[in-house]
Structure 1
């Protein structure tokens, strides 16, 4: 079995950027990807300088071609376990194994969506979560914001920058404070009490949400806050587990803990991208991947220097 300098688990922006930094330093690299990117339903990538508006699949194809140009290799499959002996062994769901001196985990995350009828089918189309990723494209439309936590108010204020037709659907979110009600009213953000039962969709487009009471609240777009779960279960044998992430005292997901260079608590295992930073956009993930790739190369150089000194 061939042994690689680095096995990269995940072939998105973080993984490909880390792989590129490594292969350009003449490291042998294998990128293992399951072919199921988080942004598969999104039409375009945004806020990535010189690549704004590029379809995600096109950006991935360009990245893979750049990595391959320098000798990087690819394998398709789902990683189920990582074990550590003299080197690391990565096992895939089909039983295939690969060996590497270092591991870069860029496996991303899973969006756990609120339990509302029809929502999953519209996810990434006219059900979205990030005003910076998708806001310009839905500007001036009627936008409903589905509250599932106290963060719903903040999300409504963010989307208010993009449209003057915003409705905060309190759904399962907490009761508003008097201050919040005043702030929302001051910005002319409507507030609707009651749980949302399902989306109303006509010809593939959202036209509104139906409350459990039967009331229809018209909207063109629904903004939600999914729970963000790191795809890192395959690391449990090494004692690595995702920890909670919080904003304003509210838990919104989990992620792997790393230092500024992407090192985890297990020597030789590095991580970057959404698996460590759930709120990172594509450009952030790419930068983190390069950062981790450089740190891995330095780590390998230190090991090789120690070995050379022992031989000398």
Structure 2
């Protein structure tokens, strides 16, 4: 087993949810070796053609990653490991934070061909396909933004890919709608946290109205311009927003989570040309974080406080 490969314990947790041995055209190649190759490329960011030969043919590894990104297999695996953790009560629903980060796009990520609208009788578009390919132009060049919802244990619950110049506030509701943790023993998937924390970029009347409607308590500071506008309107401006400074301190958890995701060079810099492939790359990084989580954790941050490297 090389550095960064799946350990026996991590493989045992992931193996039950992988597709069957027989696929289109014959048997799958060894899932474990292929996933280790995907993790190697995720960690190093090297071109697919430069993968070491110990992982097998690079075409096989790339094709499986692309196929599982297109048909939603990676997202299914993410929800499976989340459901396993939730069944063991290892998800901290008491405090969930939302934030975003910008990733610089490599020059090889540009130039994707425009896809025509889906025509009946032809192959459907891949899951999470975007017409803009999630690329935006700014003063620094091409960028992509990753929106993350993280739980208190520094693990991602939902991800969203948008162009880099898109704002944070309009994307809070779409990324929260993707929080969906199944319950293996039956029942509706859990989609609502107890409390949500975000910075002032997520402060808007629309977002606060949405959170109140779903009965989600929230700690989001109000910017000065919104405070001035509310005071200017007088009684029509409504009541001041509540803010708990003690809870807002925990917002650093989602920032540390983003740091864990961007340790992987293929996440910190986007090399994938298609948006759905890059979404699959970020999802693989999220799955690896869930697999590396401690099997037993009584409190949300007990692993961080104990100084365990696996956490």
TM range (shorter): 0.3 to 0.5
Larger strand percent: 1
Compare relative contact order (CA 8 Å, sep 6+) and give the higher one, 1 or 2: 2
Q: TM-score, normalised by structure 2?
A: 0.33
Larger helix percent: 2
Q: TM-score, normalised by structure 1?
A: 0.33
